[in-house]
C-alpha cells in the first residue's frame, strides 16, 4: 500500500469516527466528578468530520513507510484510527473511553497474530506481548507515583502501544515511551510560557502517548539498529 492510497483510505475511515464516538455508551460520573459531556454531543462538534478525517489520513500515510511487514500494517492502521478518536475525546474531556482502549488492544493483538501466522514471525509476536507488558507495568508505576497526571486510561492505552512497538523491536518500545514524554513536556512548557495553563493544570497525556508511538513507528527504519 502506498502512502497516497493509505491517505485516501484514511480520509474515508476518519470520516466515520464521529459515528463511532457517538455510539460509545455514556456512564454516570463518579462521586465528586464533574458531569460528563455525552459522547453524542462530542460527536456533533462543527467540522469534526473533516478534522478527524484529515488527521487519520496523515497518520495512515505516515504508517505505511514505517511498518516493513505488510501483513502487520492493518494492526497499526487500526490502532491509529481509534487513536485519532481517543486523542479528540481526551483533549475535550480528559478521559480515554474503555470502548476505544479495549478495542484497540484486542484489535492489535488479533491482527498481529494474523501477521505472525502469515509471516511466520512468532518471535516478533512474543516480543510484542512482552513490550505490552513492560509498557503497561511502567505506566502502572507512574500512575501510582503521579495519580493526578496519569490515569487508568493511559495505562490501558499503553498496552496497545506496547504491542505495536514491541513487534518492531525493543529499542522502539523505549523510544516510543520516551518520545511521548518528550512531546508532552515540550508542549506543556510552551503552554505554561504562553500563560495558557498553570502548574496545576491537568493536560491530557493520551495524545502525547499516541503521538510518540506513531512518530517512532513512522521513523522506524531510521531507528532500527
CA distance 68 to 71: 9
CA distance 163 to 134: 10
Helix (H) or strand (E) holding 222: helix 220-223
Sign of the Cα torsion 27, 95, 83, 156 reads negative
pLDDT bin (cut points 50, 70, 90) of residue 113 is very high
pLDDT of 173 strictly over 60: yes
Cell of 64: 505505511
pLDDT of residue 225: 47
pLDDT of 223 strictly over 70: no
Q: Contact at 8 Å (CB) between 18 and 43?
A: yes
Q: Contact at 8 Å (CB) between 180 and 208?
A: yes
| Arithmetic mean of pLDDT, 141-152 | 82
pLDDT of 190 strictly over 50: yes
CA distance 222 to 1: 20
Of residues 39 and 201, more confidence is placed in 39
CA distance 225 to 206: 28
* Predicted TM-score of the model (pTM): 0.91
Q: Contact at 8 Å (CB) between 3 and 76?
A: no
Q: Contact at 8 Å (CB) between 131 and 139?
A: no
CA distance 76 to 112: 9
Cα torsion at 166, 12, 65, 115 (round to 10°)?
40
Q: Which range (67-81, 92-106, 201-215) has the least confidence? A: 201-215
Q: For 148, list phi and psi in degrees, rounded to 5.
A: -85, -10
pLDDT bin (cut points 50, 70, 90) of residue 145 is confident
Rounded to the nearest integer, the mean pLDDT of the chain is 89
Amino acid at each position: 500500500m502506498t502512502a497516497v492510497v493509505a491517505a485516501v483510505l484514511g480520509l474515508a475511515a476518519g470520516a466515520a469516527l464521529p459515528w463511532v464516538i457517538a455510539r460509545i455508551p455514556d456512564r454516570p460520573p463518579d462521586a465528586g466528578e464533574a458531569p460528563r459531556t455525552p459522547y453524542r454531543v462530542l460527536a456533533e462538534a462543527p467540522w469534526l468530520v473533516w478534522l478527524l478525517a484529515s488527521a487519520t489520513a496523515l497518520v495512515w500515510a505516515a504508517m505505511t513507510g514505517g511498518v516493513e511487514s505488510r501483513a502487520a500494517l492493518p494492526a497499526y492502521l487500526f490502532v491509529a484510527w481509534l487513536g485519532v478518536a481517543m486523542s479528540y475525546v481526551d483533549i475535550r474531556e480528559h478521559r480515554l473511553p474503555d470502548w476505544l482502549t479495549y478495542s484497540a488492544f484486542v484489535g492489535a493483538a488479533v491482527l498481529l497474530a494474523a501477521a505472525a501466522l502469515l509471516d511466520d514471525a512468532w518471535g516478533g509476536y512474543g516480543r510484542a506481548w512482552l513490550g505490552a507488558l513492560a509498557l503497561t507495568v511502567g505506566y502502572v508505576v507512574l500512575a501510582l507515583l503521579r495519580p493526578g497526571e496519569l490515569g487508568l486510561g493511559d495505562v490501558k492505552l499503553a498496552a496497545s502501544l506496547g504491542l505495536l512497538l514491541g513487534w518492531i523491536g525493543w529499542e522502539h518500545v523505549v523510544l516510543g515511551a520516551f518520545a511521548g514524554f518528550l512531546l508532552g513536556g515540550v508542549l506543556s512548557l510552551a503552554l505554561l510560557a504562553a500563560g495558557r495553563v498553570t502548574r496545576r493544570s491537568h493536560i491530557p497525556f493520551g495524545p502525547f502517548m499516541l503521538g510518540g508511538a506513531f512518530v517512532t513507528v513512522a521513523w522506524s527504519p531510521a531507528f532500527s539498529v
